[in-house]
Amino acid sequence: MRIISSDALDALNSGRFGVRVLVKLSPSGADPLCFWDDIGSVSYGGDTYVGMAGKFTIDPSTSSKDLSIRNLNITFSGLDTDIIGMIDGVAWHQRPVLVQRAIFAIDTPQILNVIPEFSGFMDQINWTEEIGGNATAVLQCESASREFSRSGSRTASDADQRTRDSDDAFFASAAAAVSQTIDWGTNPQAQKKPGGLAGFLSKIF
């Protein structure tokens, strides 16, 4: 369930609202590259998003009930050589990418509510260049859901937990609990009645 602020709900009910996309790319060793699909600049969460209206498109974000990996493509069009050099000059591979949808009021205007839509990692960039013209780049992003099916070395044991905190004894009884026998619906202290022929005779006599 998504939680939407009361101001955003009022704007939605009145019809005086707009929805924009906020994209944040976080290359290694450089400031985050933040942009949105409008003009001018807008600030949110300590970041300033630069307007790139008409300069990029984003594939529809999909979700599934299984553990399949969801990918997302961000297509940049009309790029000049300066932009290409800037992207090639930073370490972007397997660095975080965040896509959010922002609801804002038309009358103010100001951001009323932000909803995360996609979180993952930059994987590949495919370039298409025109002779004497601009270039197009398709940024392929892998969803963070890939981590759901990845196994690790951590175990639910007292020894493993104490490597994080030597005073944490949360799993101290976990090993004993695994092999503990529990009798459901019966009193283990009660004397068991004989079965078979002995049990039949005990009922008669």
> Tens digit of pLDDT for each residue in 31-60?
898 999 998 999 999 999 999 888 889 988
Give residue-wise pLDDT tens across range 77-129: 877 665 666 666 678 888 999 999 999 888 777 888 999 989 999 998 888 87
Is the peptide bond between 116 and the residue preceding it cis, with omega within 30 degrees of 0? no
Reported as a pLDDT band with limits 50, 70 and 90, residue 2 is confident
Query: Taking all residues of the chain, what is their mean pLDDT, rounded to a whole number?
Result: 79
Q: pLDDT value at position 97?
A: 93
CA distance 28 to 147: 20
Contact 70, 64 (CB under 8 A): yes
Q: At 182, phi and psi to the nearest 5? A: -120, 125
Domain coordinates in residue numbering, the chain: 6-149
10's tokens: 């009022």
Reported as a pLDDT band with limits 50, 70 and 90, residue 30 is confident
CA distance 8 to 16: 10
Stronger pLDDT, 205 or 99, i.e. the higher one: 99
CA distance 91 to 88: 8
- One-letter amino acid identity for 174? A
Q: pLDDT value at position 154?
A: 75
Reported as a pLDDT band with limits 50, 70 and 90, residue 73 is very high
Mean local confidence (pLDDT), 60-77: 76
Mean local confidence (pLDDT), 62-86: 72
Q: pLDDT value at position 100?
A: 94
Q: pLDDT value at position 198?
A: 54
Stronger pLDDT, 173 or 200, i.e. the higher one: 173
Q: pLDDT value at position 90?
A: 76
